[in-house]
Amino acid sequence: MNDIIFQLGPFTIYTLGLSLAVSYLAGIFYFWRRGRQEGFPSDSLLDLTFLASLFGLLGGRVLFLALFREGWGLGDLFLFGEGVFWAGIILGGGLTLLIFSRLKGWSPLRVAALASLALSLGQALGFLGAEAAKYLPFAFYPAFGYFFLWLTLRFLINRKVEPGYAVSLYLIASGGLIYLAEWLRPLKAVLENGWNLNYSTAGISALLGLVLLVFLVARKTLFRVKR
């Protein structure tokens, strides 16, 4: 179920769409606010959120078309009302964050840790919205998990722990929570060939987090890198 909140001609606002918009706005505002507290310039943070949002949506659209449409062209990217795939949004936004941070001379892992903090809060609110819209049953379980993850990441960042560990924790925990959400979902996100998109994405996220964790531990152990 996805109730209509407001409708004016072809313009329609749904419960799920509104809740996702609120979670997105809360996430980017929190990222901007925490970034300022960490000493990043406000204008640069606004530029980053705009570019990451833009290329994130583009990445989500491209991945959606690659998975669900055959023979699509450039014009299909801008068709109004069609879908995006959430993993492409995070991938596009993440690559934008990495490139932008390098160009600004910022630590990519430090910025990624703040982004992970904001994402965990936004995803917690997003799953609560999915539960409120009756779009995803038992969504309060992953919502609670993401909220607890947000509190944990907030604690680590406030304690000035190596930011790579926060990013690693987000990737591993998020992989587990995505898997949980898909497992609870009656209608699975399965392609015609039987490939479950969300299970696969959850595994990739957890694997990337483990690889990053092993790298950080090995770097600290072998090369005695000081924080």
- Specify if 20 maps to a domain: no
Query: Tens digits of per-residue pLDDT, 176-201?
Result: 999 999 998 877 777 777 788 889 99
The answer to whether residue 51 is domain-embedded is: no
**pLDDT tens, position by position, 12-24:** 556 667 777 888 9
Which pLDDT band holds residue 62 (cuts at 50, 70, 90)?
confident
d(CA 78, CA 82): 9
Residue 102 lies in a domain: no
Contact between residue 66 and residue 73 where contact means Cβ atoms under 8 Å apart: no
User: Is residue 65 a part of any domain in this protein?
Assistant: no
Name the token pair of 106. Answer: 């910022």
Q: Which pLDDT score, from 0 to 100, does residue 219 have?
A: 85
Average pLDDT over residues 135-161: 93
Residue 108 contacts residue 97 (beta carbons within 8 Å): yes
150 within domain boundaries? yes
pLDDT tier, 85 (very low <50, low <70, confident <90, very high otherwise) = confident
What's this model's pTM, rounded to 2 decimal places? 0.88
Instruction: Name the one residue in this structure whose structure tokens are 């399965």.
Output: 190
Highest mean pLDDT, choosing among 81-90, 125-134, 218-227: 125-134
When divided into structural domains, the chain yields a total of: 1
Asked, for residue 75, whether it belongs to a domain, the answer is no
| Average pLDDT, integer, range 106-125 | 96
Q: What is the pLDDT of residue 4?
A: 58
- In a domain, residue 222? The reply is yes
Task: Report pLDDT digits (tens) over 32-59.
Answer: 999 999 999 999 999 999 999 999 988 8
Position 140 in a domain: yes
Per-residue confidence (pLDDT) for residue 14, from 0 to 100: 60
Query: Structural domain of residue 117, as residue ranges?
Result: 109-227
